[in-house]
Amino acid sequence: MTSPAKGAPGQAGAILALTGPAYLWLTVAILLPLSAMFYFSFLSEAPLAGKTGEWTLANYRAFFEQGFYGTLMLRSLRLGAEVVFWCFVLGFPCALVLAKSVKGRWREALFLLVILPFWSNALVRIFSWTMMLRGNGILERAIDWVVPGRFRLDIMFTYEAVVIGLVHSYLPYMILTCYISLQAVQDDLIEAARSMGASRLTILRRILLPLSLPGILAGVVLIFVPVIGSFMEPRILGGRNGTFIGTVIEDQFTAVFNWPLGAALSFIMLGCVGVVFALSRLALGRRG
Amino acid sequence: MRAFSLGGLGRVYLVLVLLFLYCPIIVMAVMSFNESQFYTLPVKWSFKWYGALAGNERILSAAANSVGIAVLTTLIASVLGTAASLAFFRYRFRGREVMQLLLFPPIAIPWLITGTAMLLFFFWIGIGRGLHAMLLGHVALALPYVIIVTSARLKAYDPDLELAARSMGAPPWMVFRRVTLPFLAPGFLAAALFAFAVSFDQFVISYFLSVPGTSTLPVEIYTAIRKGFTPEINAISTIVIGFSMALLLGVARFYKFGGERK
Amino acid sequence: MTKLPAARTARSLLATAATLALTAGFAQADEIRVLNWQGYGTDEDWALEAFAEATGHTVVHDYFNSEQEMLTKLRTNPGAYDVVLINTAYTGQAAAEGLIEPVSYDDFPHADGISDAMKETAALYHDGQLYGIPWVWGVTSIAYNTEVVSEAPQSIELLWSPEFEGRVGWRDDAVESVQMAAISLGQDINNPTDFDAIAAKLKALKPQIRTFWSSENEWNQYFSSGEFDISVYWSGSAARSANNFGLPVGFAIPKEGAIGWLDELSVVKDAPHPEAAKAFIDYMIDPEFYVKWDTEVGAPVSANADAVAALPDKAFNKVMASDEGVAARLKFLGPIEDDVRQKMLEVWQATKTEFQN
């Protein structure tokens, strides 16, 4: 095999042959569609069925003129933040136990057990929550069994139900990314700190958390992005409380047939995600 | 030696999290054996819905589509992705970083947006929707995963091994068969299984690209949830979950998720 | 397991082969695709079997959850469907967009039983041409749990009453929601004028609504698990929930009135099998089909007078069809102007946003 070297003549052909097909594919299936969508977002109507849309900014203006789009965008951002928060609160300790407190075959088995659900169909798992949460469902029955009494949990079709479903969907991501970076933390380092009299809390705060920050951040991104764009989970679990920017965008494409507006809302959503990440990078950068 | 032991408390916590993760899945599986159509409790055990599933051509054909697309996606994405990662491994060239960066949109942009963009573009330029369009989309989603996984394996590959084998007089095909292939095979297999799983579980893209009469299993399940369904959906969901989990165990066999394992 | 997978496969293969053998005798056995609500008559197994036996054509279905979705499915899937069910409020729009084909009553032998008044319903026509065959009509009103609500609701205001706080089911549909509010406010349901009052009325539903439902099956599940006690619902569906699923459902038409609607069946533009499509529509208005549908499953009122006449005398639909008191209270859904519909969508979208906790 040739060792890696700076582009020698004759290599160009090989590189093209090797990467060309994959990138051609990505261009046709991802890049061009996104560009087309960007183009549509500036049209007054979709240029389909013999119609020609005119150049306009009305779709972007609609977002700012109709107050509820903004409200829903904020609601989706809040949902993203809350789901990320709970995933971290539940997932980090779990990753910590796995990485630093369990060893050997047990760790391997437990680790697989944690990520196993994540590999099963997301839709199916969301669906399974409807049976847990609904009125007179498993959860209410279970509580009733432990603490008898006419107790109504009333959690199905609420914002909380959507959060629960999404946390369940994305928790394994956080555990996975935190686990990988926690594992890279040398045990010797922890030992050294302890021998110098550091308490558990100090070790957690001064060593484990800072050193696993890349993993935590990877988890945050991997969770935040899809949650902002979720529409299936809110539709199934949210009921009356299931309106988010994602469901509105889906509606524009599958029901209302206002593709330009849907396109504009999509790019505004992407913009918001971008701003959130830029801001958090800034904040992190300032601190460290 | 445990570096940061949380003792029994940690274990208990882990068990609770596992309970949270598995509870709904177990409930669903149990409900698939419940005779009542509206999931009323207590459970009356029955295989009725599995029987009904066998006669449900919609679901069966959707399942066949899912498997078919996943197999094709696996083949195409593995070949194209491996080729690209070989180029990244062997050559340093201008634009390499940009090209690697380009792998991220399929992962980092919400599927809702990629999916609707595909719907809009394919419909607009006449590619249309249906199985071929889904295949286009699935391969694009699977490619970055394949490239990342195979690249990781390639990074650990030492070309000197080949050199050594060749210097001892082994013919090239023998070097490939005995040295290169055995080393790289687990990575390729893991990548292929990744591609299969990405495609098999994909809902959003398929949802926007399906046409009447032609859909995949997740789309059919969603339609059923939204538009009227029976516990047959639980039955097929239970089968799907079982299948996906078996798949992961396959991947775990070839790909070290947890990093070091001692 | 009761049977081995292989045995099951063999059985389904045999069944397929048998079907093929049966249908081979017909000159033209087409597979037609029908777009409809789920569980709404056209997809009854026994009906499809009878239709296949009579004509050789088989039928497959695709479903929608809202009229908007139905129109978009037609727009984005040209040439995919043969027959579509359209609420007459949307027939004009579908025809104007070129989504459906003009038809003539002459091609439908069973249309003879449809009264002239029904045949001439203005909403079926666009530019002077007929675009749909009237199929069934019904009422959107209040369904209630007879085990919880002892007496049939007399007033639409019950939906807003504190008595049913958090116990109301509602359909997530802009037009229907605005129209229910319009009825309670005494406004014209097809052209409401005071949208501010409607918006305020709809916002007042926030504490009332337990959940939205989007399909009949979903409704049945929520209802049977006690999620809501009263709900906006359709007359035919209420009949099905009671007859077919044995749920304790009552259906009331309050004194303020209710939404009356007419559903028609149209041949889709560029339908791959237009002749089979027409045959299917004709079968759908066949009294024989209707009587079985209504008595065994539950249905709205047939547009075909012969079909209603063929019902047993005490049948709910026969009584309702002849009850002039009911007829007087119904506000029929007519064509809605584009700008009015747009306004309805906006009001509902804004209201839903307010609903969020």
Domains of chain C: 25-137+261-322 (3.40.190.10), 139-258+334-355 (3.40.190.10)
CB contact under 8 A, B92 and A6: yes
In a domain, B119, yes or no: yes
User: Is the per-residue pLDDT at A259 higher than 70?
Assistant: yes
Q: Which chain C residues are within 8 Å of B227, Cβ to Cβ?
A: 38, 63, 65, 214-215, 217
A97 has a chain B CB within 8 A of its CB: yes
What's chain B look like in SS3? CCCCCCHHHHHHHHHHHHHHHHHHHHHHHHHCCECCCCCCCCCCECCHHHHHHHCCHHHHHHHHHHHHHHHHHHHHHHHHHHHHHHHHHHEECCCHHHHHHCCCHHHHCCHHHHHHHHHHHHHHHCCCCCHHHHHHHHHHHHHHHHHHHHHHHHHCCCHHHHHHHHHCCCCHHHHHHHHHHHHHHHHHHHHHHHHHHHHHHCCHHHHHHCECCECCHHHHHHHHHHHCCCCHHHHHHHHHHHHHHHHHHHHHHHCCCCCCCC
- Which structure tokens are listed for C64? 């929608």
User: Please, which pLDDT band fits residue C15 given cuts at 50, 70 and 90?
Assistant: low
Output DSSP code: residue C294.
I
In a domain, B240, yes or no: yes
Q: Rounded to an integer, what distance in angstroms lies between the CA atom of residue C210 and that of residue C221?
A: 14
Cα nearest neighbour of A97 on chain B: B10
Amino acid at A180: I
CB contact under 8 A, B245 and A119: yes
Which one of A234-243, B105-114, C104-113 scores highest in mean pLDDT? C104-113
The pTM score is: 0.84
Contact C134, C264 (CB under 8 A): yes
In a domain, B173, yes or no: yes
Cα nearest neighbour of B225 on chain C: C218
CB contact under 8 A, C215 and B228: yes
Q: Which chain B residues are within 8 Å of C62, Cβ to Cβ?
A: 212-213
Q: How far is B46 from chain C (nearest CA, A)?
A: 10
Chains linked to C by 3 or more Cβ pairs within 8 Å: A, B
User: Please, which pLDDT band fits residue C28 given cuts at 50, 70 and 90?
Assistant: low
Q: What is the mean pLDDT of chain C?
A: 87
Report the residue count for chain B: 262
Q: Per-residue pLDDT averaged across A69-81, rounded?
A: 93
Phi, psi (deg, nearest 5) at residue C166: 70, 15
Amino acid at C39: G
Three-class SS state of C169:
strand
Q: How far is A132 from chain C (nearest CA, A)?
A: 13
Those residues whose C-beta lies under 8 Å from the C-beta of residue B233, and which sit 6 or more positions away, are A127, B221, B224, B225
Chains linked to B by 3 or more Cβ pairs within 8 Å: A, C
Contact C278, C101 (CB under 8 A): no
| Domain layout of chain A by residue ranges | 80-243
In a domain, B19, yes or no: no
pLDDT over 70, % of chain C: 92
Those residues whose C-beta lies under 8 Å from the C-beta of residue A17, and which sit 6 or more positions away, are B83
- CA–CA–CA angle A174, A179, A183 (5° rounding): 160
Q: Rounded to an integer, what distance in angstroms lies between the CA atom of residue A238 and that of residue B241?
A: 23
User: Is the per-residue pLDDT at B260 higher than 50?
Assistant: no
Q: Pairing relation of β-strands C83-87 and C258-267?
A: antiparallel
Q: Which chain A residues are within 8 Å of C75, Cβ to Cβ?
A: 48-49, 257
In a domain, B57, yes or no: yes
Q: How far is B41 from chain C (nearest CA, A)?
A: 10
- The verdict on domain A80-243 having CATH code 1.10.3720.10 is yes
Q: Using CB atoms and an 8 Å cut-off, which of residues 65-94 of chain C contact chain B?
A: 65, 73, 76-77, 80-81
In a domain, B20, yes or no: no
What's the pLDDT score for residue B56? 82
Number of domains making up chain B: 1
Sequential DSSP letters for chain A = -PPPEE--TTHHHHHHHHHHHHHHHHIIIIIHHHHHHHHHTTBSS---TT--PPB-SHHHHHHHHSHHHHHHHHHHHHHHHHHHHHHHHHHHHHHHHHHHT--HHHHHHHHHHHHTGGGS-HHHHHHHHHHHHSTTSHHHHHHHHHS-S------TTSHHHHHHHHHHHHHHHHHHHHHHHHHTS-HHHHHHHHHTT--HHHIIIIIIHHHTHHHHHHHHHHHHHHHHT--HHHHHHTGGG---HHHHHHHHHHTS--HHHHHHHHHHHHHHHHHHHHHHHHHHHHH-
Q: What is the mean pLDDT of chain B?
A: 82
- Which structure tokens are listed for A130? 């409807």
Phi, psi (deg, nearest 5) at residue A152: -110, 120
Q: Which residue has the tokens 């029901």?
A: A255
Q: Which chain B residues are within 8 Å of A124, Cβ to Cβ?
A: 28, 218, 221, 237, 240-241
User: Is the per-residue pLDDT at A23 higher than 80?
Assistant: yes
ipTM, interface predicted TM-score of the complex = 0.86
Contact C109, C282 (CB under 8 A): yes
pLDDT over 90, % of chain A: 33
CB contact under 8 A, C353 and A68: yes
Burial of A277 (0-12, 13-18, 19+ CB in 10 A): middle
pLDDT by residue (tens digit) across C219-260? 988 898 888 999 999 988 998 898 888 899 999 999 999 999
Which one of B83-87, B133-137, C39-43, C296-300 scores highest in mean pLDDT? B133-137
Domain that holds residue B150: 49-254
Q: How far is A173 from chain B (nearest CA, A)?
A: 12
pLDDT by residue (tens digit) across A86-139? 999 999 999 988 888 777 777 777 888 887 777 777 888 888 888 888 777 778
Q: Rounded to an integer, what distance in angstroms lies between the CA atom of residue C110 and that of residue C285?
A: 6
User: Please, which pLDDT band fits residue A3 given cuts at 50, 70 and 90?
Assistant: very low
In a domain, B10, yes or no: no
Among C353, C349, C330, which residue's Cα sits nearest to residue C177? C349
CB contact under 8 A, B228 and C225: no
What's the pLDDT score for residue C268? 96
Q: Rounded to an integer, what distance in angstroms lies between the CA atom of residue B192 and that of residue A8?
A: 32
pLDDT by residue (tens digit) across A152-178? 677 888 899 999 999 998 998 899 888
In a domain, B136, yes or no: yes
What's the pLDDT score for residue A263? 96
> How many Cβ atoms sit within 10 Å of the Cβ of residue B109?
21
Minimum mean pLDDT range among C12-16, C118-122, C249-253: C12-16
pLDDT by residue (tens digit) across B223-242? 887 766 667 888 888 888 88
User: Is the per-residue pLDDT at B139 higher than 60?
Assistant: yes
Minimum mean pLDDT range among A35-44, A61-70, B177-186, C268-277: B177-186
Cα nearest neighbour of C3 on chain B: B51
What's the pLDDT score for residue B183? 78
Three-class SS state of C254:
coil
Contact B105, A30 (CB under 8 A): yes
Provide the CATH number for the domain around residue B186: 1.10.3720.10
User: Is the per-residue pLDDT at C271 higher than 50?
Assistant: yes
